[in-house]
Amino acid sequence: MGRAEGRRANRPAAVLVGLISVTLLAASACSSGSKATPLTTIFVQKFRYHGMPTTLKSGVQQFLFENKESLPITHEMIPIALPSGKTAQDVINDAKGPADATPGAASEDEWLHIGGDFGAADTGASVVETLFLPPGTYAIACWQTGNLGGGEGDAHAGRGMVFQFTVTS
């Protein structure tokens, strides 16, 4: 192997070491003296969210979402703003019906998503998301479809997989 080939072979390792160093420096600079972002762990079992508080303080919040179902299935945790007069029950009612209809799973587009969507999580997987939440009334919901262990099924939100919470100042 010639000198040029040897340098090219070592380049990925050098780039990786450099990236790790920069990441560690940035992380330590950002964390020194700053207040840690609160982390809330939420998990889903039997088509229900667990661990989500009913009240949070406004500001930056970090969520760890875990799918702890006993059989293979995909879930999600979509944060939405609830307009005045609307509740989690309205989301549930809208999500009942065929997967491609409104009402049904297509009703997801009727609700204002906050800060983007958490990625979907298969059984045993988890997703972390950081959001800024101003004061208001919100819900988390799952519009994935399907049944535990496989097969077609209704939107999970239509089965009650919705959780309402309030953000205070």
Higher pLDDT, 150 or 166: 166
Instruction: State the architecture of 39-168 in CATH terms.
Output: Sandwich (2.60)
The per-residue pLDDT for 33 is 55
Average pLDDT rounded to a whole number, residues 78-96: 95
DSSP for 123-154, please give it: TT-EEEEEEEE-SEEEEEE---B--TTSS---
pLDDT band at 11 (very low <50, low <70, confident <90, very high): very low
The per-residue pLDDT for 60 is 96
115 near 165, Cβ under 8 Å?
Answer: no
**Residue 132 pLDDT exceeds 70:** yes
164 near 53, Cβ under 8 Å?
Answer: no
- Number of other residues whose CB lies within 10 A of the CB of residue 50: 13
Average pLDDT rounded to a whole number, residues 65-91: 97
76 near 42, Cβ under 8 Å?
Answer: no
Look up residue 53 and give its two tokens: 């508080």
**Residue 116 pLDDT exceeds 80:** no
What is the value of pTM for the model shown? 0.76
**CA separation, residue 90 to residues 85, 114, 153 (Å):** 10, 17, 20
Which sequence spans correspond to the domains of the chain?
1-34, 39-168
Quote the CA–CA distance of 111 and 72 in Å, as a whole number. Answer: 27
The per-residue pLDDT for 151 is 86
The per-residue pLDDT for 119 is 84
pLDDT band at 18 (very low <50, low <70, confident <90, very high): very low
Quote the CA–CA distance of 87 and 93 in Å, as a whole number. Answer: 10
Question: Which of 112, 106, 113 is closest to 144 using CA atoms?
Answer: 106
- Cα dihedral 155/157/160/162 (nearest 10): 160
DSSP reduced 3-state for 4: helix
The per-residue pLDDT for 13 is 39
Quote the CA–CA distance of 51 and 42 in Å, as a whole number. Answer: 5
